[in-house]
Amino acid sequence: MTVTLEPPARTLTRDPKELLNAVAPHITELTVNVFDSGMSLWDREVSLLLRDHTMVRDMAERILGNAVMYVMGSIENPDVHLGVGKFVDIGVHQLILDTPVWWGICRLYNGGRFKHHAPFVERRRDGLCLRTGDFLRSQGWAIDEELWAIDGADCSPCDDKVPDSH
């Protein structure tokens, strides 16, 4: 038996909140933990960011929105090496750490394939963060210029050589 996975299709919306909330029906593990609050996935992830980090809601939403943009950009463009700065990476880690939600993202947007996170220890200082912001903007995302510029040349240390990693 051969199983063929379709490559991820470009989403019709560029609204991070809509994209994240659309994952809900694709969450099959630990559903009580995820849905017992009655919150949308967006509000859940924002609340988790606020629980674990010192920031106001507006900043948590900005970080989460740009993290969703980055994750979707890396899923839709697996051959393009992208990276985030420290602020947006907080949101990326939030999505990955909430594993039922992360699996739902992978099911819905990555053809069911797990999207790995394989960081190096040292941060990159080659401007990848700025190039990623430019790339996401070119793909129709309304990036938060300030969040991408803050870390400009001091980017996440993710490995572009690991299969299906971001």
Residues 6+ apart with CB under 8 A from 52: 94
pLDDT in tens, 75-131: 999 888 888 888 999 999 999 999 999 999 999 999 999 988 877 777 777 888 898
Q: CA-CA distance, 150 to 41, in Å (whole number)? A: 27
Nearest residue to 46 via CA among 78, 89, 84, 17:
17
Q: Sign of the C-alpha dihedral, residues 76, 90, 159, 116?
A: negative
pLDDT in tens, 14-72: 999 999 999 999 999 998 888 999 999 999 999 999 999 999 999 999 999 999 999 99
* pTM of the shown model: 0.87
Does residue 160 carry a pLDDT above 60?
no
3-state secondary structure of 10: coil
User: pLDDT at position 162, please?
Assistant: 46
Q: Sign of the C-alpha dihedral, residues 157, 111, 62, 14?
A: positive
Does residue 1 carry a pLDDT above 60?
no
Q: CA-CA distance, 62 to 53, in Å (whole number)? A: 14
Which helix (H) or strand (E) is 40 found in, with range? none
